[in-house]
Structure 1
């Protein structure tokens, strides 16, 4: 459920201070943050934040389209490597029908003959 409008967006206080300090100093280094729950505000546009994903800080360059979203949306915490059984099945299955491999370049494709003859 969305946050009520009258409350305003949630942003940790230290983020506003760090963003203002970065803008006033003119340095463009990554601002390391741990607050994934904070909302991205318009004054953060153009700054690079290092959003912590549980292991490391993921660099996120804030653009206009990101305003209103949360920082955590742009730093995934889980990596999906696929199901091991799917890879095993794919490896052992091979081609479904013999002779359905694509023809080599420069060779003519021959239509199969067989079955019905019209005499």
Structure 2
């Protein structure tokens, strides 16, 4: 369900302040647990470390990501593949 348009987008104020300070380089990304924060145009060209529940995933924001959430680019689940086909041999006795 989408957010009401009259409320406006949710952007974490602490992240906006850090972006305005000039943080968010590749060597020193902005560390955040705020996965629900919507990406605004000021975030373009910045690096973020988004928490996925276990570790931090580094995300570089490009122009196509504006309007999406930070959590969309830090997957929380790892896919290990479907079950493999087990070849069984019949022993002749």
Cα displacement (A) at 1:15: 0.8
Residue 14 of structure 1 is matched in structure 2 by 14
RMSD between aligned residues: 1.8
Long gaps (5+) in structure 2: 89-93
Larger Rg: 1
TM-score using structure 2 length: 0.84
Cα displacement (A) at 1:20: 0.8
Counterparts of 2:86 and 2:15, CA distance in 1: 49
Cα displacement (A) at 1:4: 1.5
Cα displacement (A) at 1:82: 2.4
TM-score using structure 1 length: 0.67
Long gaps (5+) in structure 1: 94-119
Instruction: Between the two structures, name the one with larger relative contact order (CA 8 Å, sep ≥ 6).
Output: 2
Does residue 30 (structure 1) correspond to residue 25 (structure 2)? The answer is: no
